[in-house]
Structure 1
């Protein structure tokens, strides 16, 4: 019997919600986007409950994961923490589903441990970002840098950010506002974001992507303003085994905007 407890301790403590567990069912591992949490999958997961195990992970430093002053918040290290989570539970051949930054983490895991992954689904997955500029990396060592991050994010505000990630602004309600605001209320969040900026090494290169042999499904919103559709089309060319689905009247937050459509495409992809 696999022990699927709520939290795991590796070099940092990850929070994971196990929505269902059946030893004979395939396992979905959900990885949310930047400045978000597993809350972003709340409309999508109910569609999978009947046929799949669902592990929705808050990777560091987001959601209910640990905020550490000594952890290295690089893609490499976060991906290794997720890999360790899977290994300590003897999970193999999982299906990775990543939104935005979570999509890049899926690719990082596929590159490092392809044996652990059956298939991968990228929902508006971020890619092709350059490493952090040396000037910004240096600035992260200043004691007031976390306050600067807090000021910058507070300047835009939750309302403006939500308007930027959805196509239909009428869908924004108090549940969304409160759910996406919650990660910023966690103690140590802004200090951890400062360390994340310091450690950001950039996305996988074209050469890295071209050696990933995992079957990948790319689902993109036609009107994505955060990770534009051009990124999805470029990924489709660089990944050897990828297909791209474009959702009409959708922005960046497609698990919220088009959960049933997203489910149907993923279910068809996994059923082949």
Structure 2
């Protein structure tokens, strides 16, 4: 895969996060009586069907490479997908997304511990300010189950993005996503059967739409995090919060208040600041952008 600059990786993540918001919006249209495990199974099933044509002709041998890492990511992704359905349907879209965007902050210590990445004062500052902005938005007076569910989603996103570094680099993006979804299907099917609800195929179209948007986001994450150190680009994940505010306002009538505007500014401005710092570094030393 061709290398890309830090700035380009951050730009891709911005686009990816804005697209991912529409996946969340589709989940929010589900009724409260929807069988959650069935819906998550439908998402994975439709994701596999979407990805299969893009993997036609790929060597069978390459499908076994890195299988343990694909399986680990699959089950972390499955856990996050389940709690995402709960969180999105229990709180405003922008609020849920604000908590999801604790993921970049979580990635900083995880990258330090597991990948020995050197954290810069700029990336730490951007992450801390973004986290403070998240607190301004949600104004936590108590931790309820919905907030805990959203934090589990954030942890799953952070872990999955970091584990991309463990995947074989010769595998295509489509192949990577297909293997991750295939590895998770047995568990998601088992949970759907254990749920004991009557099978209802009505949400299948919604699941397919949600899968399409989230696959674009996941593909962009694979490209971006394979190309640059996570601590340099993770703050770009916060950009999707703007999209969540806009979609929440237009689609669900969730009007942002002053705290939302202030918190969003605290999240986005450090992102712009960090991007400019990395751009200046790359201009002064071209080797850093390779």
Decide: shared fold, TM above 0.5.
no
TM-score by length of 2: 0.30
Choose between structure 1 and 2 for higher RCO, CA contacts under 8 A separated by at least 6 residues.
2
TM-score with structure 1 setting the length:
0.31
**Bigger strand share:** 1
Larger Rg: 2
